[in-house]
Amino acid sequence: MVDPSATRLAPETDVPAPVIELRGAGKTYRSGSIEFEALKGIDLAIYEGEYVAIMGPSGSGKSTIMNVLGCLDTLTRGEYRLGGTDVNDLDEVELAEIRNRQIGFVFQGFNLLLSLPAWRNVELPLIYGGIPRHERKQRAEQALDRVGLGDRFENRPGELSGGQQQRVAVARALVGEPTMVLADEPTGNLDSVSTQDVLALFDELHARGRTIVLITHELEVAQRAARIVWVRDGEVIRDELTEEAAA
């Protein structure tokens, strides 16, 4: 197994703090007298500018990891630090603020509002952030430009292909300049051509220094990342650089 830290970190005298850090992260779901341990003491560190795929089969715990990293769920035990902040110490208002300002979400189902044009979908995180309307539109159009949809500002989702809709979702994730982009099975509803288009976009974002965490069950998709964290039965079973990154 390749030790990613040996490749990507500076000497110990100048080791940067992780953007994401899980220590002994455990999550137990309870329903009456029944308990299910979804995460079993996971340790994970992701650094600024990394492109990491978290991969595993259905029921492996990767979706729970996504919910925890996205501040959509909390740990039962252990610690989660995002940008140095202990997330466990935050209340719901503070968690909502982190979700809006530090995390850009991209979902499998796009989660676009069908009645709104592309730029209005992209501006939504800025509305929650209290950004003035004229600035919201400008930033939304710039984000659409960045994902290659500069000529589709006014198109509604129903007028766009699946790959174009996912690009709108990526633009929405980027418009607030988040600390990281968290993508949950972003190619799950796409055909092969659209899948390659969206993965190429993530490649571009990574090349520009964006931190990307990709949740997937598909090896071909995971291999586009620089590092793969393999999860099974609530545990990390392997953490390695992909062949291209290790070369």
How many folded domains does the chain comprise? Answer: 1
Segment 26-52, tens digit of pLDDT: 999 998 889 999 999 999 999 999 999
Tell me whether residue 85 is in a domain: no
- For the chain, list the strands marked E by DSSP: 20-31, 34-46, 51-55, 77-82, 85-86, 103-107, 180-184, 211-216, 227-232, 235-241
56: CATH: 3.40.50.300
Tell me whether residue 169 is in a domain: yes
Segment 207-233, tens digit of pLDDT: 988 999 999 999 999 999 999 999 999
DSSP secondary structure letter of residue 154? T
**Spatial distance between the Cα atoms of 29 and 172, rounded to a whole number of angstroms:** 31
Tell me whether residue 6 is in a domain: no
Tell me whether residue 156 is in a domain: yes
Tell me whether residue 31 is in a domain: no
Tell me whether residue 162 is in a domain: yes
Tell me whether residue 32 is in a domain: no
DSSP secondary structure letter of residue 239? E
Residues of the chain with pLDDT under 70: 1-15, 244-247
Tell me whether residue 144 is in a domain: yes
